[in-house]
Chains A and B, each alone.
Chain A
Amino acid sequence: MLRRTYDRFGCFEYFEGNDKCILIKEQSKTKVREVYLTSKSAGEIALSICPTHAGIMIGRLGKRLVPSLQGAEIIYQVGRKYPFITVNEMGEKLVLYGRDVFGQSITDASPNIKASQNLVIINSRQETLAIGLAKVPSQHMFKEGSVTVINVLDIGYYLRFQGKGLS
């Protein structure tokens, strides 16, 4: 399933590289399966002595891979096939404050986004700011005065919450 996801988003070769290792850890209480990207050596050590955390947590595995913020960033940056919206400078500031995205802040979007689809929110320099959830399909994405993308998790979340309530 993971390999199909990599292939779909054009990053199969990146994740299958010799210097990298993918680990899946099932949380004993919640049974949630977390996917980690590590160096080869860190992966080997993690397999022999189970750590609290290893490398970068790239997502959670259910019926499909739900990328984390870092996972979505890697998948977007490597393959450029992951759905995205680009926001202007004002939109960037609001996203970093945890706000949702209004249509007028969006300057570009992938052509085939569907409502309720996950996407990455990037700035004009193509830097990932957040993962979002589309409220409307691509053709309505730029509608002024309405929130068209929900900010699910942005890179400023930790500083705002200082680690409280995070898993």
Chain B
Amino acid sequence: MEKEPPKYIRINTLKITKSELIQKLIQKDIMYEDTILDEVLLVKSSRYPIGATTEYLRGYYYIQDLSSCLAVDELDVLPNQLNLDMASAPGGKTTYISQKMQNSGCVIALEPSIKRINALRFNLSRCGVRNSCIYALSGAHAGKLGLKFDRILLDAPCSGEGIIAKDPTIKTRLVPQQIANCVHRQIELLQCAINIVKPGGLIVYSTCTFAPEENELVINKLLSMNNKIKIEPQKYGEPGLTKYGDLTLDQRLTNTRRFYPHLHNTSGFFIAKIRVNSGE
């Protein structure tokens, strides 16, 4: 759990092609390996910090864990859509959504904290994102915008058990009440997302925690409350839990996915792909 996490970079094809960036990486003695996603590279070694190169500052790549990229990949984003990132700062997933939209259509980025909006603005500008609108708004109030979205990404605020390697203090400061608070917020955000997605639209719910309370149990609750949602299968990862302690959960949860550091060489991560039916 505390092993240094692998470093991944996502190539920002809004600014550079993969082959052009690879040439630049080779010139800088940055050794890399391909991953399951074409735009994402695993950095094996580098002479300089990869967050301080001219290439990074110019937005040719974004330092981002593979699991985060997989969440966006599962969103099946297409050009000219109207998409929403409900908890967008610092902007890694927003910039990837924009990249997949080829800077067309619009991606709405919500972030209630002005301080975090500064980081979001910096990253969107650095990556050359033109198709974004940032609103200083909590994801739970996204309905106030009066818009309906093709795709919604909810990378929910969570207890962060999956990123203990990056922040070891989580081990000592996390208390059960915090998980309960996160669960409450996650369900509130997901309910909001279901209300503002277009019929037939897609929601990707993700967390960076192992806690079943914040993952399968949240989706299980959602399935029991809504008959118009469907959990879609995914390409990568381990199937979600359908049993937890004495609880037997909805079998459809096998379509959710878990990512583990020791199996997938990523942060601990959870992804659920939720299709909201038209109700016909």
**Chain A contacts to B: CB under 8 angstroms:** 19-20, 37-39, 41-42, 44-46, 49, 51-57, 70, 92, 96, 123, 127-129, 155-156, 158-159, 163, 166
Contacts and interface: CB of A to CB of B under 8 A. Distances in A.
A-B pairs, top 9 by smallest CB distance, nearest first, are A39-B131, A163-B118, A51-B133, A41-B106, A155-B57, A42-B106, A53-B134, A55-B130, A158-B122
Interface string B118-140: 11011011101111111110000
A52 B104 contact: no
Interface of B: 51-52, 54, 57-58, 80, 82, 103-108, 115, 117-119, 121-122, 124-126, 128-136, 145-147
Given A19-B104, A41-B82, A52-B117, A127 B54 contact: yes
Nearest to A129: B54
Nearest to B101: A39
Tell me if B's interface is mostly helix, strand, loop or mixed: mixed
Contacts of A39: 103-106, 130-131
A53 to B, nearest CB: 4
Contacts of B117: 52-53
Nearest to A41: B106
Contact of A56 (B104, B115, B129, B133): B129
Contact of A37 (B105, B130, B147): B130
A42 B122 contact: no
Nearest to B119: A163
A45 B106 contact: yes
Nearest to A74: B128
